[in-house]
Structure 1
Amino acid sequence: MDITEVRVKLMENSEDRLRAFCSITFDSCFVIRDLKIIDGTNGPFVAMPSRKLTGHCNRCGHKNYLRAPFCNQCGTKQRGGNGDNDGPQKLYADVAHPINSECREQIQRHVIEEFELELQRAQQPGYRSRYDDDFDNEDVAAAAAPQASEVPAKLPPPAPHFHQRPSGEASSPRGGKDNDDSFGAGVF
C-alpha cells in the first residue's frame, strides 16, 4: 500500500497546538480526511481522526458527550459529568488508525514532509490550499466520461436513498405499521 497524496490545510491563527489538518490518499483510491498535525514536545506529530465518546442519560437515555454536566435532552445533572474530572476516562476514540508501528511511521513521515512543504508554499504569493479541492482526478474522469453518442437521451429518475412512507403513515419504534425488515428499516 502506497501513500499517493497528502493534502494539508494550515491553521495559522490557532491558539492551541493544532498546526494543520490533512488528508491522505492510499493507492490513488482511498482517502482519509481530518488527520491533525499537532505541535508536540519533540516536534509536530500526526493525530488520527477521532470522535468524541458519548454516554446515556440516567433519566431519559439520551446520548450526551462524556463528562457533560447536564443532559442535552432533559437537563438532568449527569453523574461524573461536572467537567472538572481529570480522571483517566477516555474522551475520544480514533475513527481510523494504523494497526502497526511501521504503518504509523510511514504515515507520520509522509504527512510531516508534506506539512513542511506546505509551510514553504504558504510563503509564496497567491498561495491556495488544495485541502478542500475535489479528490477526483480530472484526467481519469475525462477519460472515463462517455462520449455523446453513448449517453442515453433521457436518464430515469434516481431511486430514493431511504425507505419512504406514504404520507399520513406514522412510524413506531416497535410493531404497528413499521414491521419492515429491510435494511435500514426503523432507523428514523
Structure 2
Amino acid sequence: MVITEVRIKLCEENNERLLAFCSVTFDNAFVVRDLKVIEGTKGVFVAMPSRKLTDRCCRCSGKNHLRARFCNQCGTRLDDQRAMRAVDGRAKLHADIAHPIHSGARELIQAAVVEAYSKEKERSKLPGYVCTYDEFDFDDDVPMSYGGMVTEMGKTVKAHGPHSAPKGTHFHGADVPVPAAKSGRPDDFASGIV
C-alpha cells in the first residue's frame, strides 16, 4: 500500500482542537475523505472518518443519537447509560467508517497526513494561496453530464468487448450498455418507460 496523495483543508483559526480535514489516496486508486487533523494533549493526531452511533426509543422506536437525553419523536426521557462502553469505561459514541487494521498502517497514514498538514500550513502563508482539497478530477470546469458518463462507460465496455457485460444488458449505438426493461425490450428503458 502506497499513499500517493494527501489533500489538506485547513480550518479557520479558532479555539477548537480541529485543525484540518484531509483526504488520502492509496495507490492512485482508492481515496478516503474526511479524516480530521486534531490538536491533542500529546500533539497533533489523525482521526479517521466516523459516524455518530444511534439507537431506538423503547416507546416509539424513533432513532436518536446516543448523547440525546430525550427522544426526538415522542420526548420520552432516554437512559443516559445506554451507550456501549470501551475498555477504559468511556461511552462509545462514534463508529469509524474507514480505519487501518494494524498499528503499522495507522503510523504510515498519520506520518503522511501530519507532514502534509505542516506543508499546507506553510503554503497557506504564501500570497495567492489556494486550497486544493475541493478540486475535482474533471477535464472541464463543468461536471460530466449523464450522456458523457454513458459515453465514458461505453469506452470501457468497448475495450473489454460487448460479451463481457452482465447478462440482461443490451447494447445500442457505439456499444454503450443499456439495462433491459422489465418487459425485456431495451427501448422501453431508454425511453423512460419501465
- When normalised by structure 1's length, the TM-score is 0.69
> For structure 1, which segment, 114-123 or 34-43, has the greater mean C-alpha deviation from structure 2 after superposition?
34-43
Residue 15 of structure 1 deviates from its aligned partner by: 2.8
Runs of at least 4 residues off by over 3 Å: 144-147, 155-160
Q: What SS does the aligned partner of 1:119 have?
A: helix
Residue 14 of structure 1 deviates from its aligned partner by: 3.6
Deviations 1:127-183 (A, max 9, x none): 11111111x375xxxxx9699xx9x58x798899xxxxxxxxxxxxxxxxxxxxxxx
Identity of aligned residues (%): 56
Quote the Cα distance in structure 2 between the aligned partners of 1:72 and 1:130. Answer: 38
Q: Which residue of 2 aligns with 1:44?
A: 44
Amino acid at match of 1:6: V
Cα distance change on mapping 1:72 and 1:124 into 2, 3 Å: same
Which structure has more RCO (C-alpha within 8 Å, separation ≥ 6)?
1
Q: What SS does the aligned partner of 2:117 have?
A: helix
Give the number of aligned pairs.
Answer: 148
| Match runs of 1:91-170 below 5 Å | 91-134=93-136, 136=137, 138=139
- When normalised by structure 2's length, the TM-score is 0.67
Quote the Cα distance in structure 1 between the aligned partners of 2:7 and 2:122. Answer: 14
Amino acid at match of 2:27: D
CA RMSD, Structure 1 to Structure 2 (Å): 3.1
Give the unaligned 5+ runs of structure 2: 82-88, 140-150, 159-172, 182-194
Quote the Cα distance in structure 2 between the aligned partners of 1:120 and 1:67. Answer: 38
Residue 41 of structure 1 deviates from its aligned partner by: 2.2
> For structure 1, which segment, 15-24 or 71-80, has the greater mean C-alpha deviation from structure 2 after superposition?
71-80
Q: Which residue of 2 aligns with 1:20?
A: 20
Amino acid at match of 2:29: C
Give the unaligned 5+ runs of structure 1: 82-86, 139-143, 161-188
Deviations 1:17-55 (A, max 9, x none): 000000000011101000000011232110101111111
Amino acid at match of 2:3: I
Residue 74 of structure 1 deviates from its aligned partner by: 1.5
Quote the Cα distance in structure 2 between the aligned partners of 1:159 and 1:122. Answer: 52
